[in-house]
Amino acid sequence: DAGVIQSPRHEVTEMGQEVTLRCKPISGHNSLFWYRQTMMRGLELLIYFNNNVPIDDSGMPEDRFSAKMPNASFSTLKIQPSEPRDSAVYFCATQIVGQNTEAFFGQGTRLTVV
Amino acid sequence: AQSVTQLDSQVPVFEEAPVELRCNYSSSVSVYLFWYVQYPNQGLQLLLKYLSGSTLVKGINGFEAEFNKSQTSFHLRKPSVHISDTAEYFCAVNLGYSSASKIIFGSGTRLSIRP
């Protein structure tokens, strides 16, 4: 398996633009997490899904952020409109729920909003 | 509330010296504990994990960690570090719900190795 695949790896956008980050989980993994990493706040859990259903989105910072998982092999994190303070590295991680195993991380998307 | 505390944000050590990175957790339910490593410009990868059984767990790259339930700690150790161990290390807790496991990370410890 190729692991968790995130795209794009880097994104530079202007303030006010819509940004969509994508994640393809490892086949068979039924739990998916979106994290944001910054120097100031460290690694924050934004939202996670089990079997494509959002379970906890309490970490989503504002209504400008939204996440979807339309099927077991794809998830998106959208920011609309983007702001400079959204600049961070966004990670997607997946896991097999119920087995209490570790999560496997993608390489991340480095987002810069100018 | 469940949380993970990494007591040191940065740990500088000399090459070939021993190192310990500290992690404490708080939880009212059973937990599963992990240490991850993040090299520059990369994602996180698993170093080791504690699920049950022996409280001393061994991981990759010569690292080991000991689960101490009474002290709610899961400190990471290596007897002799190498330059290549320079990275950020994260302690994590997987809350033991079977239907909706949630992984919480500590704030990370940056390990810098001096030659």
pLDDT tens for the 114 residues of chain A, in order: 689 999 999 999 999 999 999 999 999 998 999 999 998 888 999 999 999 999 989 999 889 999 999 999 999 999 999 999 999 999 999 998 766 678 899 999 999 999
Q: Which residues of A41-64 are buried (b: 16+ CB within 10 A; e: fewer)?
A: ebbbbbbbbbeeeebeeeebeeee
**Across all residues in chain B, what is the average pLDDT?**
89
- Assign residue A98 a region: left if phi > 0, alpha if psi is -120 to 50, beta otherwise? left
On whether the CB atoms of residues B43 and A107 are closer than 8 A, the answer is: yes
Report the distance separating Cα B46 and Cα A92, nearest Å. 15
Q: Of A88, A89, A90, whose CA–CA distance to A77 is shortest?
A: A90
Count chain A–chain B contacts defined by CB atoms under 8 A.
60
Report the distance separating Cα B69 and Cα A67, nearest Å. 36
How confident is the model at residue A42, as a pLDDT?
87
Which residues fall within 8 angstroms of residue A58, CB to CB, at 6 or more apart?
A: none
How confident is the model at residue B103, as a pLDDT?
82
Hey, what are B21's tokens? 């990175």
DSSP 8-state symbol, B77: E
Decide if B96 and A98 are in contact by the 8 Å CB cutoff.
Answer: no
Over residues B3-50, the pLDDT tens digits come to 899 999 999 999 999 999 999 998 766 678 999 999 988 899 999 999
The more confidently predicted of residues B104 and A81 is: A81
Evaluate if residue B100 carries a pLDDT over 90. no
Q: Which residues of B touch A (CB under 8 A)?
A: 32, 34, 36, 42-46, 49, 51, 90, 94, 96, 98-108
For residue B88, give the chain A residue with the closest CA. A42
On whether the CB atoms of residues A32 and A75 are closer than 8 A, the answer is: yes
Evaluate if residue B1 carries a pLDDT over 70. no
- What distance in Å separates residue B74's CA from the closest CA in chain A? 16
Three-state DSSP class for B67? Answer: strand
Over residues B43-97, the pLDDT tens digits come to 999 999 998 888 899 999 999 999 998 899 999 999 999 999 999 999 998 875 5
Cis peptide before A8, with omega less than 30 degrees from 0? yes
How confident is the model at residue A100, as a pLDDT?
61
How confident is the model at residue B28, as a pLDDT?
67
